[in-house]
Amino acid sequence: MKNQSNILKSGIQKFIVLLKKIIQKIKFKIKLMDMDMKWRIMGGGCFSFPPSFYYTHTEEEIECIIKELREFLMYCKDEK
């Protein structure tokens, strides 16, 4: 009987930890949406990335994306 109650307690504790992680992710997503909305209201330009972009990508990913975007724009410019 003690073994079953220990297993149950362990399962409940794992569930609570998982639930807390899910709640933290939801809060973070809401924070990012709020930041982006404020950025758009304040006149965030179409030639820059919203704040959430910098929170969800690493510096290496950002550099790679910007490099690819510049190459694409230069390709489009050369096509004209």
Please tell me the total number of residues recorded for the chain in this structure: 80
Amino acid found at 67:
K
What is the number of other CB atoms lying within 10 angstroms of the CB of residue 56? 13
Task: Name the domain count of the chain.
Answer: 1
Give dist(CA 53, CA 32) in Å, integer: 9
pLDDT at 46 over 80: no
Give dist(CA 11, CA 9) in Å, integer: 5
Q: Where are the alpha helices (DSSP H) in 1-80?
A: 2-41, 51-56, 59-79
Residue 3 confidence class, pLDDT cut points 50, 70, 90? confident
**Domain boundaries, position 38:** 2-79
Q: Which helix (H) or strand (E) holds 49?
A: none
Q: What is the pTM of this model?
A: 0.68
Residue 27: predicted pLDDT: 97
